[in-house]
Amino acid sequence: MASVAPAPTPAVAANRTPSPLEHHQSHPPPDSFDDEACGIKPDHFYLDDPDGVPVYKPSWDQFQDFHKFLKAIDKRGRATGIVKVVPPKEWKRHLPDIRPKLGALKIRKAIIQDIQRGGLPAGAYRQMNVECRRSFTVQSWINMAMEPDRSTPSTAPSPKRKRRTAKDDSMSEPGDSRESSAIPLDQSEGTSSTNIDSATKAPASLFHGETSSTPLPTPTTNDTSSASAPNPDPVNNNNDDDFHSFDPDLLPTDFYVFEAEGLKIHLCRVGAQVYFRLPIGLTQHNLTQSQRNMLITQVKSMQQRYKEHKAKMKERAEREKRKRKRATPDLHPENNITINPFDLNTDPSPETIQELERHYWRNLTYGSPLYGADMLGTLLDEKDGGTWNMNRLENLLSGIHAKLPGVNMPYLYFGMWKATFAWHLEDMDLYSINYIHFGAPKQWYVIPPRERQRFEGVSKQIFYEDRRICPEFLRHKTCILSPKLLASHNITVHRMVQKAGEFIITFPYGYHSGYNIGINCAESVNFALESWIENGKAANHCECVTDSVKLDVAGLFETASVLDVEEAEEESEAGTPAPIVNRVDHIMHVVRKQTEKALKAARPSNPDLPCELCADTHTTDLLRIDGRDGLLAHWKCAEYVPETNVVSLNPNDPSMAYVVGFENIPQDRFKLVCDYCKKAGVKTKHGAPIQCAKGRCVRAFHVGCAEQAGLMMIDRKGDEKAHTYCRAHDPRLVKQPKQKYWEEPKFENIQVGATVYFKWNGLIHTGVVKRLLPMKQYEVQCSIGNVPTQSVPFYSLSLTPPVNGPPFASERPTSAVA
């Protein structure tokens, strides 16, 4: 399990030695940033690191204009990749009560996050998102997130950490003595210790191994039990601790001393592990058979007491869970919230943040948190929030006529402890703004844009298979890399903690990731400034996901000089001065006019469309409709609309053909909206659109629009009706499944000691299964000496050599694999 080093203290951050690459890639000098020229300076830097994330606390006057404020901090933000903005108290006081909206809100299609490491190096993980079929009210979401296995863990130090601290203190203070131990030891009696396996192993196997060098843990209680018989009530030094704060496998700790035929033996149990200590000079092989039997009996007795204690703690947890459920009844789950969401706001100390961060990376693969992400909606009305209302931010994207969810329409995010967002950039490398309405903070990580290419290079090396399938695999938001792993590759990772009522703004090329520290609700949306246009033209997008965002930046946002010329020409023709734009930049005003002009040109000039089945204006191949005097339809439209057909009295004379079945078209078909007409800005519904022939796909389009768009259209053949596929389900574009070069074995067929084959670093390796790991993974020892032991999931192993697959590692030099 990967662990992360604690965040540097202010003193460490201030004295941090920059890496060699930072000498020529450092930030510009402070006086070169535009924010200071405008009188807007950072209040401080997170962790007091001058190269870290700036935190702005603008005044009420500086906060009034969102667009002006962002232009002032744009240069510094592009250098760090992320900034935090703490809004003034005056702005927060004008916010409305969001509880009525929360009561009517439904959290649908939350994702269950399964994070695994399988086959990746330490500190690298792959996140799998599975859609949850259950929908939640906000109250039921809060109740679920407060369950013991989903709530934020306690930051109290574990018993192991307490013992380590006590040991360090005793070594540093000469007055301390180990004579105060819970187990009285004779100073003249040396000791040796041996680890006894848990009761799951046969008793006969307890003494066949060599003596372990594991020391007896330092006791943490002053109580002891010394008798010739087992103590029925062993000492438990954690009776007053909160059971939910720790892993039950670590509690409690018991100590016991007994005599076996005159030989004093000390026992200690920590979790499920039992340790014993013998006088110096004796090992387990010196014990008589009766002494061994007594020792086995005492060990099994201690383990039985542990099981009873664990069952008691489990029953206690269930009882507390039922008590909490009775204390917060949800009488009206559809429209009632029984808890004040603002009571969930927390302000943890930096030490607590560090402890939670350490706990997060050590337990990342355990449990599957839920994340209510990418929910279209907002908690603010149009009049609320001023220019910082995410539903109407003043930026370039507000001039686009099309509504793009998440891009110019805000998303809501409901999080809980450990709900994670993996490393990614925004779609089309846009800016983004995130605001926490209530709840626990978010922990953010960010890569400075100057190190973007090195970060991408490391990611491509680690996630080799993902890069081979999709060059933009980081936009899938499935790749997790710990700060410790990135630091080992000399990549700087900045941290930031966002609390309730604060904004986080990300900038182009600033890779970011993070997780939620507890229950919270956030709102986010993308936006763009004028400086983004060149970034947008060079941006790539993922082509393996059908709903990925792609903007024609060159067509939508032309250079300001070209737009000014066109606007001046329009003004000279109209003879009227241009309207004065007070709050929006000149380029944004011109972009809106260009968009409206393009949409007007796309609409048909003749409102009386000749065909009753489509919105095409061409008059060729028009046929009369039977029983409808004066109405016409295109021949191809009549062939592809399911309810209509073409009948010809004389096959050799096209003029004798006519359309039948028009009266059979249901009204619901006339209500369908053509996707292509909608994108072109045609608001009037006309014709009878058809739908994609793939399963339950609901995409609709006119026959003429489908033909112009180049969709796959299959003509009528015999009894088979004519049908059309949308672009997402076009059989010509569907990727063929990747050819398998071995059959995946069943999990139960792979045994310890078996010879297996697996793929690593593009080569086929041979190894031997050493042991079974959690999550149905195996520890495999490779046959090549310089390749480390790998943790491989069972479905990536094969018991037979692959056929027509990648080359074997033995067929290449060893240096190529290292």
> 592 and 633: one domain?
no
- Three-state DSSP class for residue 407: coil
pLDDT digits (tens, 9 = 90+) for 434-482: 999 999 999 999 999 999 999 999 999 999 888 888 999 999 999 999 9
Distance CA 3, CA 118 (A): 17
> 691 and 762: one domain?
no
> 129 and 207: one domain?
no
Does residue 333 belong to any structural domain of this protein? no
Q: What is the pLDDT of residue 159?
A: 59
Residue 524 domain boundaries = 10-137+348-538
Asked whether residue 551 carries a pLDDT value surpassing 90, the answer given is: no
> 598 and 627: one domain?
no
> 365 and 280: one domain?
no
> 88 and 37: one domain?
yes
Does residue 626 belong to any structural domain of this protein? yes
> 384 and 529: one domain?
yes
Q: What is the pLDDT of residue 196?
A: 40
> Percent of the chain scored above 70 by pLDDT?
71
Give the ranges where 687-757 is alpha helix by DSSP (H): 703-709
Q: Picking from 207-216, 384-393, 583-592, which range would have the lowest pLDDT averaged per residue?
A: 207-216
594 vs 259: which has the higher pLDDT: 259
Q: Which helix (H) or strand (E) holds 781?
A: strand 777-782
Beta-carbon neighbour count of residue 156 at 10 Å? 12
> 383 and 512: one domain?
yes
280 vs 587: which has the higher pLDDT: 280
Distance CA 456, CA 709 (A): 36
Handedness of CA 369, 374, 380, 385 (dihedral sign): positive
- Please state the domain count of the chain: 5
Tell me which residue of 384, 376, 429, 374 sits closest to 403, measured CA to CA: 376
Beta-carbon neighbour count of residue 227 at 10 Å? 10
> 511 and 434: one domain?
yes
Asked whether residue 267 carries a pLDDT value surpassing 90, the answer given is: no
pLDDT digits (tens, 9 = 90+) for 219-239: 333 333 333 333 333 333 333
**Pairing of β 622-625 and β 657-660:** parallel
Q: What is the pLDDT of residue 189?
A: 35
pLDDT digits (tens, 9 = 90+) for 633-687: 999 999 999 999 998 877 777 778 899 999 889 988 988 999 888 888 776 678 9
Burial (CB < 10 A; 0-12, 13-18, 19+), residue 665, is middle
- Residue 28 near residue 79 (C-beta atoms within 8 A): yes
Q: In which band, very low, low, confident or very high, does the pLDDT at 735 lie, cut at 50, 70 and 90? A: low
CATH number, domain containing residue 718: 3.30.40.10
Q: Picking from 447-451, 616-620, 757-761, which range would have the lowest pLDDT averaged per residue?
A: 757-761
- Residue 125 near residue 364 (C-beta atoms within 8 A): yes
pLDDT digits (tens, 9 = 90+) for 347-376: 999 999 999 999 999 999 998 999 999 899
Does residue 549 belong to any structural domain of this protein? no
Does residue 451 belong to any structural domain of this protein? yes
Q: What is the pLDDT of residue 474?
A: 93
Does residue 811 belong to any structural domain of this protein? yes
Q: In which band, very low, low, confident or very high, does the pLDDT at 546 lie, cut at 50, 70 and 90? A: low
Rounded to the nearest integer, the mean pLDDT of the chain is: 76
> 383 and 451: one domain?
yes
Distance CA 275, CA 177 (A): 22
Q: What is the pLDDT of residue 686?
A: 85
Does residue 735 belong to any structural domain of this protein? no
> 385 and 527: one domain?
yes
Residues in the chain: 818
Q: Evaluate if pTM is beyond 0.95.
A: no
> 595 and 626: one domain?
no
Of 729, 760, 791, the last residue of a domain is 729
CATH number, domain containing residue 762: 2.30.30.140
Q: In which band, very low, low, confident or very high, does the pLDDT at 592 lie, cut at 50, 70 and 90? A: low
pLDDT digits (tens, 9 = 90+) for 47-89: 888 889 999 999 999 999 999 999 999 999 999 999 999 999 9
Q: What is the pLDDT of residue 225?
A: 37
448's tokens: 């400075």
Does residue 335 belong to any structural domain of this protein? no
Distance CA 667, CA 550 (A): 34
98's tokens: 């969001």
> Across residues 796-814, what is the average pLDDT?
69
- Residue 118 near residue 351 (C-beta atoms within 8 A): no
CATH number, domain containing residue 59: 2.60.120.650
Distance CA 547, CA 524 (A): 18
290 CB contacts (<8 Å, ≥6 apart)? Answer: 260, 261
- What are the phi and psi torsion angles at 491 (to 5°)? -110, 125
Q: What is the pLDDT of residue 760?
A: 73
559's tokens: 């250079």
Does residue 299 belong to any structural domain of this protein? yes
